[in-house]
Structure 1
């Protein structure tokens, strides 16, 4: 929020109405022309934040942020009236011993082992000709909830090779069977059609960019789709283009910040379609 204010936001709270008078949270070209924000202003703001933090650190006797982590001896409980004043936080503010094998905070980036993902091992090799020669392909495979960002690397390869909107509609049709992990079909490009027979976790179709996603229950299912969850929270978050059809209920924050994708669903949790400016 703070950087947005630096860029001109006055917190009018109409981000979801496509009427932002300062051209920030809108797709309206006339309103976007009013945007006066500058990158240098945000950079300058961040410098001020860093300087203020440095001053606090100096008062506490620290030179580096790493030295502050775990130093609960520098914290004290604020005296307040009422029930909150009766809380005993001693066990939370207790300094615990650390051992050589234990780090009290994040130190090194972990190897994400991208070469072990289902995209790298299976999708990219199977879709090689579809990407390089634009040959249509249809395939089916099983997925589990450890298969995160399914088909996102595939979209990346297409984007790097041709740019967006290069493939014909449904050129690559992938049927996935099982319980898909987070971000199924995230940033999916035009030309890729994903069909999940089962269900999906959070962020299905996140940042959808022209692709198509269909989720439906198995023919052997004994429950009614309109009474059961088929996809998790924040589906189609920030989607710009594409189509999603869900034969079931989605979780909370469905289609938040959608600005162009078409979505059909049998029901959603709270905060659905907030901050939408299109679609």
Structure 2
């Protein structure tokens, strides 16, 4: 990642941009010619992808307001707790957990905890079985 970060710094310096936040919404800085002239892009209309709407004074072009996504109420907290023996000790766990349509990201936080603890190797197959 070091080389990617270094190249990004160089490109940003060439563009005269100091912070990543200053790049958000700046479609005018994109050099689209290479991508559009590519043979795979022939006939495609990218005008909506690169469209820049007029800026509104009361709407920020990037995230500036704190949003409550209700993560403290996420079902994954229950899953993480029930899967703790597998995460911590590599034991196999199996449990039934009802899921409703309001549980929109089931397993995302659980997989994040597993990845953080075990890296690319993850857990053994079927270490966590949820019905």
**TM-score of the superposition, structure 1-length normalised?**
0.31
Aligned-residue Cα RMSD (Å) equals 3.7
Quick one: which of 209, 214, 225 aligns to 2:84?
A: 209
Aligned pair 1:85/2:11, yes or no?
no
Q: What runs of 5+ residues in structure 1 fail to find an aligned partner? A: 1-44, 118-146, 150-182, 189-204, 217-231, 240-255, 266-279
Q: Deviations over 1:206-229 (max 9, x none)?
A: xx213763246xxxxxxxxxxxxx
Q: Relative to total residues, which structure has the larger strand share, 1 or 2?
A: 1
The question of whether the paired residues in 2 share the 8 Å contact of 1:69 and 1:104 is answered with: yes
> How many residue pairs are counted as aligned between the two chains?
107
Quick one: which of 72, 76, 80 aligns to 1:187?
A: 80
Distance 1:91 1:261, change over 3 A: closer
Distance 1:59 1:184, change over 3 A: same
The question of whether the paired residues in 2 share the 8 Å contact of 1:185 and 1:213 is answered with: no
Q: What runs of 5+ residues in structure 2 fail to find an aligned partner? A: 86-92, 99-104, 116-120
Distance 1:52 1:264, change over 3 A: closer
- Give the aligned partner of residue 102 of structure 1: 59
Query: Could you say which structure has the larger radius of gyration?
Result: 1
Q: 2:78 and 2:20 mapped to 1: Cα distance?
A: 37
Q: 2:95 and 2:22 mapped to 1: Cα distance?
A: 47
Q: Relative to total residues, which structure has the larger helix share, 1 or 2?
A: 2
Displacement of 1:187? 1.9
Quick one: which of 112, 127, 131 aligns to 1:261?
A: 127
The question of whether the paired residues in 1 share the 8 Å contact of 2:94 and 2:129 is answered with: no
User: SS state of the match for residue 67, structure 1?
Assistant: helix
